[in-house]
Amino acid sequence: MASTSDIRNGLCIKYNHDIYKIIEFLHVKPGKGPAFVRTKLKSVTTGKVIDNTFSAGHKIEDVRVETHKFQYLYAEGDTFHFMNTEDYNQITLEKSSLDAPGLLKEGEVVTIIINSEDQMPLSVEMPASVILEVTATEPGVKGNTATNATKPATVETGAEVMVPLFINEGDKIKVETDKGTYKERIKE
């Protein structure tokens, strides 16, 4: 058993008959009244995000987890196949357990959190950003760089990302995986 002082980002806890991962927290000590911890919890089974407040000293049941690096191999319908980079064992996960499946490129290495008790995969952590090639977009017009206007672009994984007007087909761009937004153009 842990208490609220052990709360940190990435900690997996049992709460309301489900396993949640803490994605954000804030210790609050108001001038009047007891301290508390405001948290954002993400269900590892459904992906639903909830807000919750724990009073200071509240006991929480943490879940022992292991993290392993897995390489994304391929998708087959709604199932995604991954290979452990250490022992080459393969696992399959449902599309619903991935945060940004549209930004996952074959060969990409991700971190999979596995429950130590029953060896079940809990969640997949993508890298902070991925580099993808633009496969389809409207052609860029010279001089359209002064405004913050954007246009849709399809990347090599099939996902659609809003990009600045100067991005053309064949350009490589960096995309933030948590928001699915354009970060910068990669020059070669």
Q: Note whether 120 and 105 are within 8 A (CB).
A: no
- CA pseudo-torsion sign 86, 88, 90, 94: positive
Average pLDDT (10-31) is 87
- Output DSSP code: residue 63: -
Question: Are residues 52 and 82 located together in one domain of the fold?
Answer: no
Question: Are residues 15 and 53 located together in one domain of the fold?
Answer: yes
Note the pLDDT tens digit of each residue in 115-145: 888 888 877 888 888 889 999 888 766 665 6
Full residue range of the structural domain in which residue 134 is found = 129-186
Q: Which two tokens stand for residue 37?
A: 């911890």
Question: Are residues 182 and 135 located together in one domain of the fold?
Answer: yes
User: What CATH number is associated with residue 112?
Assistant: 2.40.50.140
Question: Are residues 79 and 100 located together in one domain of the fold?
Answer: yes
Looking at residue 144, its pLDDT comes to 59
| Domain final residue, candidates 62, 88, 107 | 62
| Domain final residue, candidates 103, 125, 147 | 125
Cβ atoms within 10 Å of 38's Cβ, excluding its own? 13
Question: Are residues 69 and 94 located together in one domain of the fold?
Answer: yes
Closest CA to 80 of 96, 63, 58, 61: 96
Question: Are residues 90 and 110 located together in one domain of the fold?
Answer: yes
Looking at residue 142, its pLDDT comes to 64
Count the domains in the chain.
3
Question: Are residues 10 and 34 located together in one domain of the fold?
Answer: yes
Question: Are residues 92 and 120 located together in one domain of the fold?
Answer: yes
| Domain final residue, candidates 62, 84, 111 | 62
Cβ atoms within 10 Å of 23's Cβ, excluding its own? 14
Average pLDDT (95-124) is 83
Average pLDDT (96-107) is 82
Question: Are residues 117 and 154 located together in one domain of the fold?
Answer: no
